[in-house]
Structure 1
Amino acid sequence: MSSVSEGRFRSSSVPLITPSPLRAALRTDDGVRIEAVYEPFAAGAGAVAETSFDGTAIVIAHGFTGSADRPAVRRAAGVLGRRAAVVTFSFRGHGGSGGRSTVGDREVLDLAAAVRWARALGHRRVVTVGFSMGGSVVLRHGALYPGRSTAGTEAGGMTEQEGRIEACAGARADVHADAVVAVSAPARWYYRGTAPMRRLHWVVTRPAGRLVGRYGFGTRIDRDDWDPVPLSPVRAAGLIAPAPLLIVHGDRDPYFPLDHPRMLAEAAGDGAELWLERGMGHAENAADESLLTRIGDWVAAR
């Protein structure tokens, strides 16, 4: 269960008109400490005048080697913050968070803690926006933490552990996402079809690579292999409906070619909208203000 350290938030109803960011340490269901930042929505300079605050919070899930304080994440938070309150956080093993990165597996628990915090702050509607690794995490979170009972529905492809997560989450009203946005997300695990992904696999799987990750990128990586292999993003995409799903991908993404977003959209069927962005590269570093504004508009319209 997530919690806020040092009792900084003594109730679940922090005034949403507070103009300055709030920082907290959340606790995930497996006991990892996660740093998080909350920025309340405030209509004013840069905010869209006709969009009034309706209780929506956007939770941003960064890519591998990112963090809540990286410039690209802060830029995304600033643009999306014109439409709603924003929660940013650092995945385990990243930034000021504890633990070690499992590169998209147990990170679903980090996202669940951030969503739970947004709801504890009084938000009735929470939308998750994930980039790259974060995109795969928001897809799995949307499948494993549905906003409706899934008793008796098809759940093939889930591990036993994920089945327990989903069963527990189905009884809760504070961990699901009301809509999901996956930007530059992979469709399948272990992809090595591009040079950047081959380099990333070296960083993750080799002792020397993990040293580069730790001291070169500030990312502490777990050395254990996945066991069991988590639910794949493409399988998860088909389990998110009826929550709205937006899939965004650049046609110049050097990590994942266009068959990845197309596979995700096909798996989701009518429950997804697909944007293929001309000239866009990869993840939050390539998401310009125009794209982020359109994502914010999509969030506000759903």
Structure 2
Amino acid sequence: MVDVSSLTSVHDRDARRAMLRTDDGVRIEAVYEPSTASVTDTAVVVAHGFTGSVDRPALRRAALALREHAHVVSFSFRGHGGSGGRSTVGDREVLDLAAAVRWARELGHTRVATVGFSMGGSVVLRHAALERGTGAHTDAVAAVSAPARWYYRGTPSMRRVHWVVTRPVGRLVGRYGLGTRIDRRDWDPVPLSPVEAVPLIAPTPLLVVHGDRDPYFPLDHPRSLVAAAPEGTAELWLERGMGHAENAAGEELLARLGGWLARP
């Protein structure tokens, strides 16, 4: 469901905002930006990382770069930015992504690809596995700086994330310091992990991108994701000198990502 008075055609060159409603009733803010490319039908839906939002500079920069290759839908996950609800840190966020993909299709795009960063990377992987054969399916998926498994605490950066998510004081820091409202409830049941989702994605094209200086997830995470895919169905780009997620994605990488996502 889209809370807008009217939806113009995809040939209208003006960007627009909307409030989407997920299957569990959460209102999600989203932005549609037509491509600057001369001819393309592909829409790319961009999923940000934990504590991000549709208006954060890093996501705006990524959306601008991707517009050179495809139409772009960006949005704020639940508990982030102007969206409602509380963050479940990768669980019910699949419903947010599904709402954004449906909106892209309602705007007339027959080919929709997804790209996610960090937490958003885990979400696009699970979405690609769980929404196959539905009206919210993706035609290609790219996960950047994504974890392979849940509850990872092997780096100082991830131990800080777990403190923010699991401790009452941490959630206050998340809300007032990071602008992220976090659900205090534990997962029940524990959702399908990214590495468990990967075998279910094929034959949808899959790209895994990871930096060799990622301070959150070491290289065994992207390698595990690609190893879980049926042979020949996933690509791995290991980026030299890259850190973590959309903040570390340079212009050259974003251009390559846009080309990969937009190719028929």
Shorter-chain TM-score range: over 0.9
- Partner amino acid for 2:55? D
Structure 2 equivalent of residue 4 of structure 1: 2
- Partner amino acid for 1:282? H
For 2:87 and 2:262, the matched residues in 1 are separated by 32
Q: Tell me, yes or no, if structure 1 residue 298 matches structure 2 residue 253.
A: no
Residue 42 of structure 1 deviates from its aligned partner by 3.2
Structure 2 equivalent of residue 271 of structure 1: 233
Residue 300 of structure 1 deviates from its aligned partner by 2.4
Structure 2 equivalent of residue 144 of structure 1: 130
Q: Tell me, yes or no, if structure 1 residue 211 matches structure 2 residue 172.
A: yes
RMSD: 1.0
- Partner amino acid for 2:2? V
1:108 to 90, 94, 97: 94
- Partner amino acid for 2:251? E
For 2:206 and 2:171, the matched residues in 1 are separated by 33
Residue 18 of structure 1 deviates from its aligned partner by 1.8
For 2:122 and 2:141, the matched residues in 1 are separated by 11
For 1:9 and 1:233, the matched residues in 2 are separated by 36
Structure 1 equivalent of residue 222 of structure 2: 261
Q: Tell me, yes or no, if structure 1 residue 242 matches structure 2 residue 180.
A: no
For 1:100 and 1:248, the matched residues in 2 are separated by 28
Structure 2 equivalent of residue 19 of structure 1: 13
Max Rg structure: 1
Residue 17 of structure 1 deviates from its aligned partner by 2.3
For 2:212 and 2:114, the matched residues in 1 are separated by 23
Q: Tell me, yes or no, if structure 1 residue 70 matches structure 2 residue 67.
A: no
Q: Tell me, yes or no, if structure 1 residue 192 matches structure 2 residue 153.
A: yes
Output aligned runs, 1:280-299, within 5 Å.
280-299=242-261
SS of 2:229's partner is helix
Residue 220 of structure 1 deviates from its aligned partner by 0.1
2:31 to 31, 37, 52: 37
Output aligned runs, 1:118-157, within 5 Å.
118-147=104-133
For 2:250 and 2:58, the matched residues in 1 are separated by 9
SS of 2:20's partner is strand
Residue 271 of structure 1 deviates from its aligned partner by 1.1
- Percent identity, aligned pairs only? 74
- Partner amino acid for 1:299? L
- Partner amino acid for 2:147? P
For 1:79 and 1:242, the matched residues in 2 are separated by 27
Q: Which runs of 5+ in 1 are unaligned?
A: 44-48, 148-171
Contact 1:8-1:24 within 8 A present in 2 as well:
no
Taking structure 1 as the reference length, the TM-score comes to 0.86
Structure 1 equivalent of residue 73 of structure 2: 87
For 1:72 and 1:57, the matched residues in 2 are separated by 19
Contact 1:16-1:41 within 8 A present in 2 as well:
no
Q: Which runs of 5+ in 2 are unaligned?
A: none
Contact 2:51-2:178 within 8 A present in 1 as well:
yes
SS of 1:82's partner is coil
Alignment deviations for residues 248-288 of structure 1 (CA, whole Å, 9 cap, x no partner)? 00000000000000000000132100000000000000001
- Partner amino acid for 2:18? A
Alignment deviations for residues 136-163 of structure 1 (CA, whole Å, 9 cap, x no partner)? 000000000013xxxxxxxxxxxxxxxx
2:192 to 223, 227, 231: 231
Contact 2:114-2:142 within 8 A present in 1 as well:
yes
Contact 1:17-1:42 within 8 A present in 2 as well:
no
SS of 1:238's partner is helix
Residue 19 of structure 1 deviates from its aligned partner by 2.0
- Partner amino acid for 1:230? P
Contact 2:113-2:262 within 8 A present in 1 as well:
no
Residue 238 of structure 1 deviates from its aligned partner by 1.1
For 1:8 and 1:278, the matched residues in 2 are separated by 46
Residue 40 of structure 1 deviates from its aligned partner by 1.0
Structure 2 equivalent of residue 164 of structure 1: none
Contact 1:27-1:113 within 8 A present in 2 as well:
yes
For 1:176 and 1:40, the matched residues in 2 are separated by 20
- Partner amino acid for 2:151? Y
